[in-house]
A and B are shown apart, each in its own frame.
Chain A
């Protein structure tokens, strides 16, 4: 369905339901996912993801209902369910009512016809040279090529009416020494609005290069290392930072490291939420939130100083602030989440990753991270995780040897306070936790980052 069709459906359902105060947010995503592993295309699927979420208010009593049936009767039924539930609930303190017409959303293009029109044959044709190239390099290919078309719409009885269409094309590729038993692994990835613009060949070559370079790793002891983190590694850390730091609920409960007006990390660090960019390489995300509020660019950390947090309408009303357009569907499609949709970390002035490495006498070059967890000590943003798909010892400014994967445990904000260089170039990385979101990050050099886990030993020595 298109955004316009969804909006018509939302408005029709509201009109037929006859509730005085109601909101309908509908989304539909059609995804073509070609997932390959062991050098073969084994999981190829087309997924249909329809969802309508309605809320009905009786005063400040607000109930929610959902349906995956994008039909008027089903949405009217959901509204009736929410209407029946609302009077039975306690009041939601600060609920300001549903959004009205509001300010216009950013006129950002998010749609590429070639992505929307992609077929199973298109995806298979694009992948054939990838599988062949990785095989010819003596490695095993794994990854996924996705072409997705999405639409969203929101309508309220108070006059809000918005719709949106987008496409996302993404490519992830691994070049592996073994199919699933560890060993060297190289990764490449890219996302863009247009399938045709994906740098598939470039990223495949990168994965092969790093996979080859990663063979015969050495072991390193735990300790503090100067480190260069690639954009994919930084993006995962930033996504966790967003989860523990930037939302009004975390701020209100006292778990967030954001202390507004205070310096909380290094001067080089500026992090913004901006889903308004009109840029096919970096512009992702729906320009309005689930409540219909136009997403606003928000500078969260400005040269190391905490400046702002993200609000939905209710938390904003309680705090005397304005919604930043950051209301999201929460866990399992439920309510209550506030978060970023398109996070951007400003870059620095280094021309390349090699320039960052040149400033390291002895340290680590980390391509990606795995299983990061940021719940250790949220007021300091202490996180743990492991390297994955490329971890290298850097000596005298050059990559010297591959290193077995290592565990880090450190405060991201304290690490970034020791950041002394970043690349100018940045990459957009798809978010891990929310489909359709992105994190744009540069490669970053931090001094003295703590790796507390000795590097992963060869399997044979453990078993």
Chain B
């Protein structure tokens, strides 16, 4: 048998020595430097229409080195954890910082911080990497069979799961030495039904692909009960083929928890990224309507709306011990009772506002520099059940599970479409509606929020595909949300433009 290289969990003694020697090499040559060793093991499985469409395992391992020179930063990386390779990468990072210095107006502000030391590990009851492959494939095959049961008009069904184990070691010239071990997972399924007119409808569970993630083990997949939910989404996909289109107009809108999570992601998470607000993310993502002068003043939402960045939430995809600048995980309100009060920030960007970092710097691997990323940005629950909320709605539309998403470069004008909707009349779900969409302007929309369901309806969603940066980085982030109601929203359908 070959030596098992798929997952070398942490550093060998020689590699450890090489990292420390490289750090020593950078002391005195840089205002600050960090070495971030990352080792990832992943598994991605997908069954479509009874066929295995993906059965892949992967691994990656290397070190990213970020150096703050006299004025600005340099970043280089290497998959080779030998002393010679690390020294060469460190020299490249220092050289890049020096080459860039003439194009920086002033030295980057980077307040000193105390060294962080310790470990963090995801709580895992049943290790997904210890589950046999055939058991995993069977766990996907069973819901697909159930979705396909009965044949046409169901045209296609698939189910997937993904597991990632990430080991991260951070060493800095400030004396930080942290070790973190994450286990991320996600699973879901979708079904397509095809009408005689050639138009198809999709339903997914638990939500749209890429947002069903968590930190934890196989026990969380068991709790999803894919097979048990298959008949419901299959029948709804079929029913959508003949359902009327969501009517155009201005209506009270109730969003299910998963759609509230996406709404938070796009219209609160991204615009509260301070690098966007300060203009560092123009080359790809854009800026932000939330400008520093609005802190403490802007009515972002109604009094009901409190949004918190919490990197300590149990099981969240945005949960950790320390960010990639060694700032400890914490809980920071971004919007408090409707007022915009803080940003997702880094040590450098927060210093520009004279504030401490809210600890959100993360990189998506050893070969990318850290950026400000969402942690778990969540809407605080209020009270009542979804049934209570529907019963309290005289004339509205209840939309569930995202289908398409789009928002402008300042995060103001958004339009989302959902997989399905229900018309609500006098507190009752009266008829299923297809192709629903809604549109709005971020602060106007959140100011119209007049009800948020309680803790029993609140769920922590995980998005594993959040893109940001240039070149693009993909990151795991979390959003806790409960169903919520928004008054007088522009709704319609995607069928006829």
Tell me whether A35 and B3 are in contact (CB under 8 A).
no
Residues of B within 8 A of A90 (CB): 47, 50-52, 137, 141
Contact (Cβ within 8 A) A45 B103: no
By the criterion CB–CB under 8 Å, are A65 and B415 in contact?
Answer: no
Given A73-B3, A336-B53, the answer on whether A44 and B137 have CB atoms closer than 8 Å is: no
Task: Tell me the smallest distance from the CB of A332 to a CB of chain B, in Å.
Answer: 7
User: Which listed segment binds A: B166-174, B404-412, B449-457, B481-489?
Assistant: B404-412
- Chain A CB within 8 A of B192 CB: yes
Asked whether, in the complex, the Cβ of B497 is within 8 Å of the Cβ of A409, the reply is yes
**B10 beta carbon closer than 8 Å to chain A:** no
Nearest A residue to B471 via CB reads A33
CB pair B278–A66 under 8 Å, yes or no, is no
Contacting A at CB under 8 A, from B122-149, are 132-134, 137, 141
Interface centre among A37, A93, A181 (most CB of B within 10 A): A181
Contact B474 A41 (CB under 8 A): no
Instruction: Check if A297 is an interface residue, CB within 8 A of chain B.
Output: no
A334-B100 in contact (CB<8A): no
Instruction: From B322-330, B386-394, B425-433, B437-445, give the one contacting chain A.
Output: B437-445
Is A382 part of the binding interface, using a Cβ–Cβ cutoff of 8 Å?
Answer: yes
- Interface flag for A107 (CB, 8 Å): no
Q: Interface size class for chain A? A: 35 or more
Binary contact readout B297-333 vs A (1 if CB under 8 angstroms, 0 otherwise): 0100000000000000000000000000000000000
**In the complex, A154 has a CB within 8 A of chain B:** no
**Known: A69-B5, A120-B99, A373-B406. Is A42-B280 also a contact (CB below 8 A)?**
yes
Q: Tell whether A184 is near chain B: CB-to-CB under 8 Å.
A: no
- Cα A230 to Cα B4 with chains together (Å): 52
Query: Is the pair B406, A385 in contact by a Cβ cutoff of 8 Å?
Result: yes
Q: Are B413 and A47 within 8 A (Cβ)?
A: no
Complex Cα distance A88/B45, Å?
Answer: 13
User: A111 at the A/B interface (Cβ < 8 Å)?
Assistant: no
Q: Is A47 touching B53 in the complex (CB atoms < 8 A)?
A: no
Q: Which of B282-301 contact A (CB under 8 A)?
A: 282-283, 286-289, 291, 294, 298
Q: Is the CB of A88 within 8 A of B133?
A: yes
With a cutoff of 8 Å between Cβ atoms, the chain B residues found around residue A166 in the complex are none
* A81 lies within 8 A of chain B by Cβ: yes
Q: How far is the CB of B343 from chain A (nearest CB, A)?
A: 12
Known contacts being A64-B54, A181-B289, A435-B471, is A253 close to B413, with CB within 8 Å?
Answer: no
Q: Mark A429-441, 1 if CB is under 8 A from B, else 0.
A: 0000001000000
B403: A residues at CB distance < 8 A: 375-376
Query: Which A-chain residue is minimally distant from B286 (CB atoms)?
Result: A370
**A127 in the interface, Cβ–Cβ < 8 Å?**
yes
List A132-180 residues whose CB lies under 8 Å from chain B: 140, 142-144, 146, 172, 174, 176, 178-180
**Pick from B55, B59, B75, B294: contact of A463, CB under 8 Å:** B294
Whether B6 lies near A67 (C-beta < 8 A) is yes
- Tell me whether A37 and B497 are in contact in the complex, defined as CB-CB below 8 angstroms, given that A81-B6, A181-B277, A384-B404 are known contacts: no
List B contacts of A144 (CB < 8 A): 283, 470
User: When the two chains form their complex, are residues A456 and B410 in contact, meaning their CB atoms are under 8 A apart?
Assistant: yes
**Whole-angstrom distance between the Cβ of A75 and the nearest chain B Cβ:** 9
Contact A49/B367 with A34-B100, A181-B289, A463-B289 known, Cβ cut-off 8 Å:
yes
Contact A180 B57 (CB under 8 A): no
Residue in A68, A76, A123, A174 whose Cβ sees the most chain B Cβ within 10 Å: A68
Could you say which of A80, A375, A411 has the most chain B C-beta atoms within 10 Å of its C-beta?
A: A375
* Contact (A140, B59) CB under 8 Å given A375-B404, A382-B497: no
Give the Cβ gap from B91 to chain A, nearest Cβ, in Å.
11
Q: Are B279 and A407 in contact (CB under 8 A)?
A: no
B367 CB contact (under 8 Å) in A47, A64, A91: A47
Which residue of A is nearest B105, CB measured? A40
Which of the segments B76-84, B222-230, B257-265 contacts the partner chain?
A: B76-84
Q: Evaluate contact between B61 and A68: CB separation under 8 angstroms.
A: yes
Cα(A37)–Cα(B470), bound, Å: 12
Q: In the complex, how many angstroms separate the beta carbon of B26 from the nearest chain A beta carbon?
A: 16
The answer to whether A42 and B73 have CB atoms under 8 Å apart is yes
Which residues of chain B are near A409, meaning CB under 8 Å?
415, 494, 497
Answer whether residue A348 sits at the interface, using C-beta atoms and an 8 A cutoff.
Answer: no
Q: Are B100 and A384 in contact (CB under 8 A)?
A: no
A77: chain B residues at CB < 8 Å are 2-6
Q: Are the CB atoms of A74 and B103 closer together than 8 Å?
A: no
Given A373-B406, A456-B408, the answer on whether A43 and B369 have CB atoms closer than 8 Å is: yes
Distance in angstroms between the alpha carbons of A131 and B287 in the assembled complex? 19
A333 adjacent to chain B (CB < 8 Å): yes
In the complex, whether A182 has a CB less than 8 A from a CB of chain B is yes
Instruction: Check: A104 CB closer than 8 A to any chain B CB.
Output: no
Binary contact readout B447-481 vs A (1 if CB under 8 angstroms, 0 otherwise): 00000000000000000010000110010000000
Q: At the interface, yes or no: A290 with Cβ under 8 Å from chain B?
A: no
Assess the A411–B497 pair: CB atoms within 8 A.
yes
Max chain B Cβ within 10 angstroms of own Cβ: one of A44, A179, A330, A453: A44
Binary contact track B1-16/A, C-beta < 8 Å → 1, others 0: 1111110000000000
At the interface, yes or no: B251 with Cβ under 8 Å from chain A? no
Is A405 within 8 A of B408, CB to CB? yes
Pairwise interchain contact A330-B54, C-beta atoms closer than 8 A? yes
Query: Contact at B367–A88, with CB atoms within 8 Å?
Result: no
| A142 and B282 contact, CB distance less than 8 A | yes
Partner of A386, one of B108, B409, B443, B494: B409
Q: Which residue of B lies closest to A50 (CB)?
A: B79
Q: Quick check: is B179 within 8 A (CB to CB) of the other chain?
A: no
- Interchain CA distance A121-B451 in the complex, whole Å: 56
List 13 contacting pairs A-B, 8 Å CB cutoff, sorted by A.
A43-B280, A64-B54, A66-B58, A68-B60, A69-B59, A89-B55, A182-B289, A334-B54, A371-B405, A371-B407, A378-B200, A409-B497, A456-B412
Q: Measuring CB to CB, which residues of chain A are less than 8 angstroms from any residue of chain B? A: 31, 33-51, 62-70, 73-74, 76-78, 80-82, 85, 88-93, 119-121, 123-124, 127-128, 131, 140, 142-144, 146, 172, 174, 176, 178-182, 252-255, 330-336, 370-379, 382, 384-386, 388, 405, 407, 409-411, 435, 450, 452-453, 456, 459, 462-463
Excluding A47-B367, A120-B99, 11 further A-B contacts by CB distance (< 8 Å) are A66-B59, A77-B3, A143-B282, A172-B283, A181-B410, A330-B54, A370-B408, A456-B413, A462-B289, A463-B294, A463-B298
Q: Which 6 A-B pairs have the closest CB atoms?
A: A179-B279, A180-B279, A180-B287, A66-B58, A68-B60, A142-B282
